[in-house]
Amino acid sequence: MREDTRTLVFAASTCLIVSLLLSVTAAALKPAQVANEKLDVKKNIIKAFGVDISDKAEWTAEKIEEAFAQYISDASTDELQVYTWTDDGADAPSKYAFPISGKGLWGDIFGYLALQSDLETIAGISFYKHVETPGLGAEIEKPWFQTQFKGKKLYKEGAPVPFAVAKPGTPLTDTSVDGISGATLTGKGVQAFIREDAAAYADYFNSLKEGK
């Protein structure tokens, strides 16, 4: 066999072996990746309900699973995804959370938003997946940005409000939060999909009010 032929055969064999090893490794890691993704979603639903889970030493995977099982129930309908939070000893949910998502600057942003028992006031918000720019749009995942939402109004008298992610420095109202300097398009995206998702869930929350 010629030297150049042997080289090509060796290179092809090496590539095949490496490809097989990568495929086997990816397959082996897939269950763990799926489990981690599900855990991350649960963690962010808990966070949206206003729970401080910043202490990673305290909020282990086991504790997240335990809290989710103890306090949170899936109340989704055929068309809408909804989670409820029920306090210890309570007979009825005290908070309701639903998914929010839409376009940011570079891609889709995913999160959860929770309402207090009045079904109008925001209890908390979280973002668990995005591709926004670090130091700019990615600030949506930081506490300073997310804690602004708590206590703000998403609905008034059953109707969605024109919720705003305002330009930094703009006087705020009970239906707006400060935006992120240098990340105007990310803020506009968050504003747009919060309004859109609030409108999609308005009838559902109004039906809950009527049933109380």
Reduce the DSSP state of residue 39 to 3 states and report it: helix
Q: Residue 104 is encoded by which pair of tokens?
A: 């940011």
What integer pLDDT is reported at residue 50 of this predicted model? 95
CA distance 194 to 199: 9
pLDDT band with cut points at 50, 70 and 90 for residue 169: confident
Q: Residue 32 is encoded by which pair of tokens?
A: 């763990």
CB 144 within 8 A of CB 125: no
Whether this prediction's pTM lies above 0.75 is answered by yes
Work out the average pLDDT over 39-50.
95
CB 46 within 8 A of CB 53: yes
What integer pLDDT is reported at residue 21 of this predicted model? 55
78-113 pLDDT, tens digit each:
999 999 999 999 999 999 999 999 999 999 999 999
What integer pLDDT is reported at residue 114 of this predicted model? 98
What integer pLDDT is reported at residue 212 of this predicted model? 67
User: Cα–Cα distances in Å, from 116 out to 62, 152, 155, 180?
Assistant: 26, 10, 11, 26
Burial of 68 from C-beta contacts in 10 A (0-12 / 13-18 / 19+): middle
